[in-house]
Amino acid sequence: MSTTAETRKFEAEVAQVLHLVTHSLYSHKEIFLRELISNASDACDKLRFEALAHPEWLADDAELRIDVSFDAAARTLSVHDNGIGMDRDELVANLGTIASSGTRRYLESLAADKKADSRLIGQFGVGFYSAFVVADRVTVTSRRAGTSASDGVRWESDGQGEYSLESVEVPKRGTTVTLHLKADESEFLETWKLRSLVSRYSDHIGFPIRMPKAVDGEATAEWETVNSASALWTRPKSELKDEDYQNFYKSLSHDFSDALTWTHNRVEGNQNFTSLLYIPAKAPFDFMNGREERKGLKLYIRRVFIMDASEQLLPAYLRFVRGVVDSDDLPLNVSREILQQNRQVERIRGACTKRVLDLLDKLAVDEAEKYATFWSAFGSVLKEGIAEDAGNRERIAKLLRFASTHSEGAAPSVSLDDYIGRMKAGQEIIWYITADSYAAAKGSPQLEALKAQGVEVLLMSDRIDEWMAGYLTEYAGKKLRHVGKGEIELDAAASEAHKASEEAASAVVARLKELLGERVRDVKVSRRLTESPSCLVLDEYDMALHLRRVLKQSGHDMPDSAPVLEINPGHALVKRLEVEADNARASDLALLLLEQAQVAEGAQLEDPAAFVQRLNRVILEAPAGS
Ligand SMILES: Nc1ncnc2c1ncn2[C@@H]1O[C@H](COP(=O)(O)OP(=O)(O)OP(=O)(O)O)[C@@H](O)[C@H]1O
């Protein structure tokens, strides 16, 4: 390890981030202060945690704090903390590279799509680099806790591609970040301006943020604390304004937008803890990839930050939640492994899950518009809960929203309760259809008979729907059924009529079976069709065809299974087949009945060119006047 002065190049991605940050964050430039203070606060949190094992690290300077000061003549602004500090290697690793995989993915996507929302950059821990929005040179002097004064290091860069490192004496542990402000950034050299920024963005920081006391506009040698210096979630709700909650949310999540809603609770009893849980308004850019890499819910134990424990404190289907849980009872030396199987943690997890579901319930009832925003951002994630959380299935089901044959457009706005409220007298089943698009679902021939009877059908076209529906077989005592699967029951009169039409069509059904052979499992007279000539149906427990295709494409071994073809004997094409004497023409007609059912269902035909030729032959050979 080198201890002398050296100059190094930033990793290529850092240069890219620096460029982006300085260009895209300019309209929010004052957030640099929030970011630096938030890093300083994290450093204090880390020290407090590590001091559990090394109390001597804290002993000589036990009051953790963050000092903000400036020197107007030198045009510098400094943020100092007496937290954990960094050694030379950590400075290189933390301020010379991009550690976060989210940031890397974001940069990759930018390369592919120049228009990606540059405001999102804030969500990926560009924190420190935001200093270069207002500074043309940044100096970081640091000494790690547990090392000596001569182990101090100075890092410096103008943000242009290189940084220098130098060993320096640092009398006390901690980090000082000094910004050499650009010529037109003098506003950050004024006490009132800095104070107002601290109180706007950083009031909730749990450590004292101090500034030199000013007398008649002149800074004195005396420090005074300028924030509330108590962790926001420990304060009574009655003292907190919406704005306080929103500011805390933003510094927690790096989101530029307000949270949609939140829930702040203190639980007392045989388990004491406080939770503050937020629902963001939109998904971060790389959210859907994030199942395996979850963060955003911080675990504190008696105000000491322990770790991000999103995975332990909430189920995966609530991974959009951001916030804080502060437990009074867990042991401070808790590890990730212990958290995984701790009964207290399990109870906290149960309680947090319930809080979030309560919050969503309330939002759905009181603020439908906000709920629609939530649903479009995170609805498909919440759906995972139907399969994963059997204990809360009914509650989650209540929160689901779908498009339907009774609603306008593709927007999912119908709840299962809405559906039940509109059920026809005697209707026992909640009908739905899954397809790979809204149009395919809405236009499916399988719906015709139900539509003709005025029975509502939920239109599901989210990828996860078919999988989810496999677990959602019942709601509020009503069975859910796919309109394209299994037999559709009819009332007595309709049943009689169906029997008669089955008998009348027995010859054409037999002919179709013969002509289509292995291509179909069976041919039946349909109870579903009123307008179209044919459709495909499945057995009750078969997987929907569009899902089979998705799985097959993604490399799953799907055994081939032929579909059941249903026909509408009243349709002119079927009637034509009935009387067609020429076998070649009859074969064309039979295949067309099958192929158009496949097309309507959204399938790719095996031989599209042959289909087109067949179609043209049938059109051109159609008997005149038919
Ligand atoms: N004042 C500080 N004291 C100790 N370490 C620091 C300090 N400031 C930054 N660091 C280290 O540098 C790393 C990079 O900081 P940066 O602000 O770029 O991103 P981050 O804080 O990790 O990400 P995010 O902003 O998403 O939390 C931090 O994770 C931390 O390890």
The interface pTM score, or ipTM, of the predicted complex is 0.96
Cα–Cα dist 617/588, whole Å: 8
Q: Which tokens sit at 487?
A: 């037999």
Same domain, 218 and 238: no
How confident is residue 290, by pLDDT bands cut at 50, 70 and 90? Answer: low
Q: Is residue 395 part of a domain?
A: no
Same domain, 237 and 124: no
Q: How many Cβ atoms sit within 10 Å of the Cβ of residue 187?
A: 13
Q: Domain range holding 589?
A: 490-626
Same domain, 177 and 243: no
Report percent pLDDT > 70 for the chain: 93
Q: Which amino acid is at 443?
A: G
Structural domains counted in the chain: 4
Same domain, 261 and 296: yes
**Which of the listed residues 205, 228, 251 is the one where a domain comes to its end?**
228
What pLDDT shows up at residue 30? Answer: 86
Q: What is the pLDDT of residues 387-435, one digit of tens each?
A: 999 999 999 999 999 999 999 899 999 999 999 999 998 899 999 999 9
What pLDDT shows up at residue 436? Answer: 86
Cα–Cα dist 414/290, whole Å: 28
| CATH code of the domain covering residue 369 | 3.30.230.80
pTM: 0.79
Element (H, E) at 339: helix 336-341
> Left (φ > 0), alpha (ψ -120 to 50) or beta: where does 92 sit?
alpha
Say if ligand 1 is within 6 A of residue 484 CB.
no
Query: In this structure, which residue's CA is closest to atom 23 in ligand 1?
Result: 125
**Mean pLDDT, rounded, for 457-482:** 94
Q: Is residue 387 part of a domain?
A: no
Residue 607: DSSP 8-state: -
Same domain, 423 and 355: no
By mean pLDDT, which of 3-7, 340-344, 473-477, 555-559 is the weakest?
A: 555-559
| CATH code of the domain covering residue 66 | 3.30.565.10
What pLDDT shows up at residue 253? Answer: 83
Q: Is residue 1 part of a domain?
A: no
Same domain, 325 and 467: no
Same domain, 339 and 257: yes
Radius of gyration of the chain (CA): 33
Q: Could you tell me which residue, 543 or 416, shows the higher pLDDT?
A: 416
Same domain, 251 and 359: yes
Same domain, 364 and 238: yes
Same domain, 47 and 181: yes
| CATH code of the domain covering residue 466 | 3.40.50.11260
| CATH code of the domain covering residue 494 | 1.20.120.790
User: At residue 25, does pLDDT exceed 80?
Assistant: no
Burial of 62 (0-12, 13-18, 19+ CB in 10 A): exposed
State the chain's mean pLDDT as an integer: 89
Q: Is residue 51 part of a domain?
A: yes
Cα–Cα dist 521/441, whole Å: 23
How confident is residue 110, by pLDDT bands cut at 50, 70 and 90? Answer: low
Query: In this structure, which residue's CA is closest to atom 27 in ligand 1?
Result: 125
Q: Is residue 166 part of a domain?
A: yes
Q: Is residue 120 part of a domain?
A: yes
What pLDDT shows up at residue 23? Answer: 74
How confident is residue 363, by pLDDT bands cut at 50, 70 and 90? Answer: very high
Q: Is residue 33 part of a domain?
A: yes
Question: Distances from the Cα of 292 to the Cαs of 172, 307, 316, 349, 381, in angstroms?
Answer: 40, 17, 9, 18, 13
Say if ligand 1 is within 6 A of residue 84 CB.
yes
What pLDDT shows up at residue 125? Answer: 54
If you measure from the C-alpha of residue 337 to the centroid of ligand 1, how many angstroms do you get, rounded to a whole number? 25
User: At residue 118, does pLDDT exceed 90?
Assistant: no
Q: Could you tell me which residue, 432 or 293, shows the higher pLDDT?
A: 432
Q: What is the pLDDT of residues 223-233, one digit of tens each?
A: 999 998 888 99
What pLDDT shows up at residue 204? Answer: 81
**Mean pLDDT, rounded, for 331-354:** 87
If you measure from the C-alpha of residue 377 to the centroid of ligand 1, how many angstroms do you get, rounded to a whole number? 28
Same domain, 144 and 248: no
Q: DSSP readout, 46-87?
A: HHHHHTTT-HHHHHTT----EEEEEETTTTEEEEEE-SS---
User: At residue 157, does pLDDT exceed 90?
Assistant: yes
User: At residue 119, does pLDDT exceed 90?
Assistant: no
Same domain, 177 and 28: yes
Indicate the top mutation candidate among 128, 143, 170, 207 to test ligand 1's pocket, ranked by most ligand atoms within 8 A of CB. 128
**Which of the listed residues 373, 396, 429 is the one where a domain comes to its end?**
373
